[in-house]
Structure 1
Amino acid sequence: MLINLFPQRPDHPLADAKELKRILAELHVEKAAHAVDELASWFESLKHARNFRLDHYFDVLRQLDDAGQPHLRRLARDYLYSPFLSRLELQRLWERNYGYWTAVAALYALCTTRARLEPKERGADAFKVSLPLADARLQAARRTLIKWLAYRYEPVEGEIWKSLGRTSLLAEAAGHAQKPVQLYPGHQGSSSAGHQYLHALVFSTSSMDGLLPQQVELADRMIAHFLPAFVCSPDCRPDSVYWVDAEKGSAPTRLARHPGAARPGLRFFSPGQALAGLEELIHVVERDEVPGSLNLGGEFPQKALLPVLRHLRVCWALKPPQRRHQRHAVKTRMAVLPGFDHSYTVFSGTSADLQTQTQSWVVENVSLGGLRTCFDESATDRIKLGSLLCMQVEGGENWLLGTARRFNRQAGGRANLGVQLLARQAQGVELQPRRSGFAAAVAIPGIWLHDDEVPGIVRLVLPLGSFSVRETLNFSQDGRIHLLTPMEVEASGCDYEIARYHDQPSPA
């Protein structure tokens, strides 16, 4: 009986303050990958630790998580911006990061669950002051998991949305959902459990499947920048665009589908003043200026920022984009050649030389504006969002020109790709810059788009970076010379740009 009067001490090595200090010091000088692996091992051991006071347990977890942040940022930069990593190296980086955030989310959830289920437990009262931070970090970890899934175009499991919604409602009930905390040492500004949940909702409705991984990261930082201007409320406002049922743990849904009867977990959100702020930022960046208040994690040129900002403008509009053309289900095969070079070769009339490089995809539905294809995921090594695609339906003679727009991985090693149709009729041409000297002999390959032609206007697909507003071009076709005066670039992808020119045909 006397023995039970004395609390048992935890036998975990991290319970010793000196040992914890030594381990943290070693993590600061360790290589990023090794440090994150070591932290993952400590997190695994903490799952089975016994006799830890709750406040001490959280403090150990918090310090370990703090120490991991600079290493995680380094690994994320390597994943997004290192050009020479193999597919296997990228996979390992992804697994290391995703595994970290999965483990730390589980431990923060353990802390908050203990506090709510065992409020009289020794240490629970001292932990109360840390509960807003614990909930905010828990929501941030889950939100980061969604971002890492977006990097690989993986679907978000329902359990993540259930956990996010449940924690948000519990934080609201406890009165600290909007209480500002500094999420991590050195982070700019403050956050809260409610803000992290809203961030996840806005991220999910911003069509990340239409962006490259580097663009996903920039979009995520833009969301963080404009998040205070978004509005999330239990009431449906005139400008509400989406709703979510936090109690059921649903993903956000457009108000085009009404949620039905009012219930406690319903939340409605809209861009509020964020859309006006985004419009203003676009105008600033178009002047080739980037405000110093933007935390982008690095310096990015105008051409890298503008596509992301314009993408978000469409997604955050009070009337999100609607499908203009009805889809029709089909099941047919399609030959595909990716990239500008292959497309130019095909539309120049020499596609027979590319037989061995043609991929075979299955078309699942079509519309006037595009199609959706299904193919083996191994083919994605050669396909990037924004790349040019030359396509021919099985049994057809005509080649189509399109661009990869949306990508999603599916179960069983399959993937879906949404393709926007650029032209049903096109023609390869050699463009001669109207210069003097040696440079004038260098021809520029172009693909002349014949769909929706406007008299006096020529639309050309060019290799990325070929358009110059100061450079006139000409090409000869059907016995006539076309003199082209540059107008503007109307669209661009990862390997091409579509430019418009004034056309002045003249006799050959």
Structure 2
Amino acid sequence: MPMLDWLEKKPNHPMTSVAEARKLLEELPQDPQKALADLTQWLASVTETPDFRVDVRAQVLGVIDERAQPLERAVRALYLAQPDLRRGHGREHWQSVYDFWSQLASGYGVCRRDYQAGAKGAAAAKDALALIGAREIRALGQRMKLLLMRYQPLEEPLWAALHESYALADSRRHVAQSFKAYPSDPIETSVRTEFAKALMLEMASAESLSAPKIELAFRIIYRFAPLFVLGPEPAAGATFVTDLAAPKPPRPVSVDERPAPTLRFFGMGEATPKLEEMITQNEQGLLVEEHRLGQEFSSGEKITVLKHLLLHWGPNPPHRARTRVQISGELSVVHGYRAVCHHIVNIEASSMGELAENMEVKARQKAGLGLAAEEVQEPPELWMQQDASDLGVGALVPPGAGKWVAVGCLCAIKPAGDSRWWAGVVRRLSADAKSRLGAGIEVLAKKPAAVWLRVLGRHEAKVSDWESASGSFAYEYLHAVMLTDHAKAHDRPVLLLEKNRFVPGQIYEMMVGDKSRHVILKEFLEQGEDYDLGSFEWYQGQVAQPA
């Protein structure tokens, strides 16, 4: 046997052992992106070089993998700080991270297939098979996340690899074996847990979230994955199903679904009350435990994503049911909270009924008082409208335009031939075979109305007084947009505020021209790139005026 080992063909590679791999990785570039690129090249060479024993290849890949983890986190943070793929270094950072996870998944996939084929070293790799499977599935899940951040489709080979990796672990009966996938991981995982993460990400409708919110959703999934249900039989909370024998994405469970050898049922399981509890904690500002999701995310962003996940993972996820009509014509578009307020204030006629019946155009124009000139003077972009429904508009973004566009961006739109500006939010982005960018815009309101909110207790309650007061910017007031024809939230009207300004329970005086009424902010609904969306009530109680 020793003689046979001596005669065994060795791989033509400098990393033929763990010791050699560690020595070669001692010196890497100081720049995280360059260092990650070097490690990705090492992964590729180890993966593609023939004659590696299964166990040795897996061990060497593991050394490179563990060395790369902190670098990947650093480069990913750079991308998330500037996720715009059309400007700056966003595309470069995204590509570096995507290439790493793709090559890592490929490497562990080779180890898995070599093991199944009974290649040399397969028996020695048996004890590491669960770890190899968990790391491969995690790498594939990261690939999924990154593709979703660019709104790219998840192709069949990715689903085939996910299903094949899990099926092998299931056949060896070690899907539930717990261990740390990496020494630095705070909690243990398993092949089943990693598989559930990837499946739940797919069913989260992440394509309607911005890149940072997709990252937040991924962290929430990571946090609660041990509570998800996944198994061969239908179960409470298992609202989805996937077929291990098909390279297809999972789907909702049908009414007459029956178990089959290759079907796996999954869903939120026991995570539902925990997600609801986290929403309550964030609404109350009790964030101590939930800081593990990342302090770079605001309470509003966490609530937005948590509600999104509960909605899309629930028993009745939303789906497009409205008829879309093909339309061709120019669509005027402005973006950003202040620009939206400006165009609604200066162009849109009053739509607030008795609250705004005497509102003068001059007063409405002066309501743009706090906007910087460069923000309100930027001309609208002209997009090409493609289709429309009662609550949405589809448009093609021309080359050179829409460099700002991202899912979650607030905008005002005006269809050709219409004099009114509508309030909307970019909900979906897609790129066709010619790399043309398409945008799906949800129409929040076709008759929005700009108003002022001010904290009670201040003097000079009229807009005209705010206009003339030399210290007007010292007053505590907010520019808001009432969505007068928006679907109500629990029978309450809805409004937009600038990001991080919506505080449930806060009482304001709503100013429209020289008229006012008291309102109390109620339910926080959503936070976008630069806005908060929430409901309010007309307040009838007594309000104490501070001295």
The separation in 1 between residues aligned to 2:430 and 2:68, in whole angstroms, is: 30
Residue of structure 2 equivalent to 1:117: 117
Matching residue's letter, 1:449: L
Structure 2 contact 22–63 (Cα < 8 Å) conserved = no
The separation in 1 between residues aligned to 2:476 and 2:75, in whole angstroms, is: 42
Structure 2 contact 18–63 (Cα < 8 Å) conserved = no
Matching residue's letter, 1:193: V
Alpha-carbon distance, 1:288 to partner = 1.3
Question: Which of 317, 324, 329 in structure 2 is aligned with 1:328?
Answer: 324
Residue of structure 2 equivalent to 1:176: 174
The separation in 1 between residues aligned to 2:83 and 2:5, in whole angstroms, is: 60
Query: Is 1:361–2:395 an aligned residue pair?
Result: no
Residue of structure 1 equivalent to 2:10: 9
- Cα 1:458/1:320, change in 2 over 3 Å: closer
Please give the per-residue CA displacement for 1:48-88, whole angstroms capped at 9, x wherever unaligned: 43433322222111111111111111111111125899824
- Cα 1:96/1:487, change in 2 over 3 Å: closer
Matched-pair identity in %:
26
Query: Is 1:281–2:278 an aligned residue pair?
Result: yes
Alpha-carbon distance, 1:299 to partner = 5.8
Question: Which of 479, 482, 493 in structure 1 is aligned with 2:528?
Answer: 493
SS at match of 1:15: coil
The separation in 2 between residues aligned to 1:245 and 1:458, in whole angstroms, is: 44
Alpha-carbon distance, 1:463 to partner = 2.8
Residue of structure 1 equivalent to 2:150: 152
Alpha-carbon distance, 1:300 to partner = 4.3
Say which is worse superposed, 402-411 or 110-119, in terms of deviation.
402-411
The separation in 2 between residues aligned to 1:411 and 1:84, in whole angstroms, is: 20
Residue of structure 2 equivalent to 1:304: 301
Q: How do residues 410-421 of structure 1 correspond to structure 2 at under 5 angstroms?
A: 410-421=432-443
The separation in 2 between residues aligned to 1:75 and 1:382, in whole angstroms, is: 22
Alpha-carbon distance, 1:139 to partner = 1.0
The separation in 1 between residues aligned to 2:46 and 2:60, in whole angstroms, is: 9
Structure 1 contact 118–124 (Cα < 8 Å) conserved = yes
- Cα 1:367/1:51, change in 2 over 3 Å: closer
Question: Which of 227, 230, 237 in structure 1 is aligned with 2:228?
Answer: 230
Residue of structure 2 equivalent to 1:200: 198
Query: Is 1:502–2:538 an aligned residue pair?
Result: yes
Residue of structure 1 equivalent to 2:49: 49
Query: Is 1:446–2:480 an aligned residue pair?
Result: yes
Matching residue's letter, 2:395: T
Residue of structure 2 equivalent to 1:108: 108
- Cα 1:232/1:5, change in 2 over 3 Å: closer
The separation in 1 between residues aligned to 2:492 and 2:229, in whole angstroms, is: 44
- Cα 1:341/1:280, change in 2 over 3 Å: closer
Alpha-carbon distance, 1:490 to partner = 4.5
The separation in 1 between residues aligned to 2:143 and 2:416, in whole angstroms, is: 40
Residue of structure 1 equivalent to 2:34: 34
The separation in 1 between residues aligned to 2:27 and 2:312, in whole angstroms, is: 44
Matching residue's letter, 2:56: H
Matching residue's letter, 1:404: V
The separation in 1 between residues aligned to 2:280 and 2:529, in whole angstroms, is: 23
Which sections of structure 1, spanning at least 5 residues, go unmatched?
Answer: none
SS at match of 1:382: coil
- Cα 1:250/1:471, change in 2 over 3 Å: same
Q: How do residues 73-92 of structure 1 correspond to structure 2 at under 5 angstroms?
A: 73-81=73-81, 87-92=87-92
Q: Kindly tell me the number of residue pairs found equivalent between the two proteins.
A: 495
Matching residue's letter, 2:338: D
Query: Is 1:475–2:473 an aligned residue pair?
Result: no
Residue of structure 2 equivalent to 1:398: 420
Please give the per-residue CA displacement for 1:301-342, whole angstroms capped at 9, x wherever unaligned: 42332222222221222222344x522231222222222223
Alpha-carbon distance, 1:233 to partner = 2.1
Say which is worse superposed, 91-100 or 330-339, in terms of deviation.
330-339
SS at match of 2:293: coil
Matching residue's letter, 1:128: K
Alpha-carbon distance, 1:453 to partner = 9.9
SS at match of 2:346: coil
- Cα 1:357/1:413, change in 2 over 3 Å: farther
Normalising by structure 2, report the TM-score: 0.81
Question: Which of 499, 508, 513 in structure 2 is aligned with 1:464?
Answer: 499
The separation in 1 between residues aligned to 2:515 and 2:476, in whole angstroms, is: 17
Matching residue's letter, 2:221: I
- Cα 1:427/1:318, change in 2 over 3 Å: closer
RMSD: 3.3
- Cα 1:386/1:300, change in 2 over 3 Å: closer
The separation in 1 between residues aligned to 2:61 and 2:487, in whole angstroms, is: 63
Matching residue's letter, 1:273: E
SS at match of 1:25: coil
Residue of structure 2 equivalent to 1:97: 97
Residue of structure 1 equivalent to 2:218: 220
Query: Is 1:137–2:173 an aligned residue pair?
Result: no
Matching residue's letter, 1:340: Y
Matching residue's letter, 1:371: V
The separation in 2 between residues aligned to 1:126 and 1:452, in whole angstroms, is: 63
Normalising by structure 1, report the TM-score: 0.86
The separation in 2 between residues aligned to 1:452 and 1:212, in whole angstroms, is: 22
Alpha-carbon distance, 1:395 to partner = 2.4
The separation in 2 between residues aligned to 1:13 and 1:339, in whole angstroms, is: 54
Please give the per-residue CA displacement for 1:394-415, whole angstroms capped at 9, x wherever unaligned: 2233332222223333332223
Residue of structure 2 equivalent to 1:381: 403
SS at match of 2:89: helix
Residue of structure 1 equivalent to 2:353: none
Matching residue's letter, 1:109: G
The separation in 2 between residues aligned to 1:85 and 1:240, in whole angstroms, is: 36
SS at match of 2:449: strand
The separation in 2 between residues aligned to 1:485 and 1:371, in whole angstroms, is: 31
Please give the per-residue CA displacement for 1:216-242, whole angstroms capped at 9, x wherever unaligned: 112111111211221122223354311
- Cα 1:350/1:400, change in 2 over 3 Å: closer
Please give the per-residue CA displacement for 1:126-185, whole angstroms capped at 9, x wherever unaligned: 111111111111111111100111222222112101111122112211222222232111
The separation in 1 between residues aligned to 2:400 and 2:46, in whole angstroms, is: 38
The separation in 1 between residues aligned to 2:4 and 2:533, in whole angstroms, is: 80
Structure 1 contact 331–362 (Cα < 8 Å) conserved = no
Alpha-carbon distance, 1:502 to partner = 2.2
- Cα 1:442/1:48, change in 2 over 3 Å: closer
Structure 2 contact 383–396 (Cα < 8 Å) conserved = yes
The separation in 2 between residues aligned to 1:467 and 1:52, in whole angstroms, is: 59
Please give the per-residue CA displacement for 1:399-439, whole angstroms capped at 9, x wherever unaligned: 32222223333332223333222212133345566514845
Question: Which of 263, 266, 281 in structure 2 is aligned with 1:266?
Answer: 263
Structure 1 contact 463–497 (Cα < 8 Å) conserved = yes
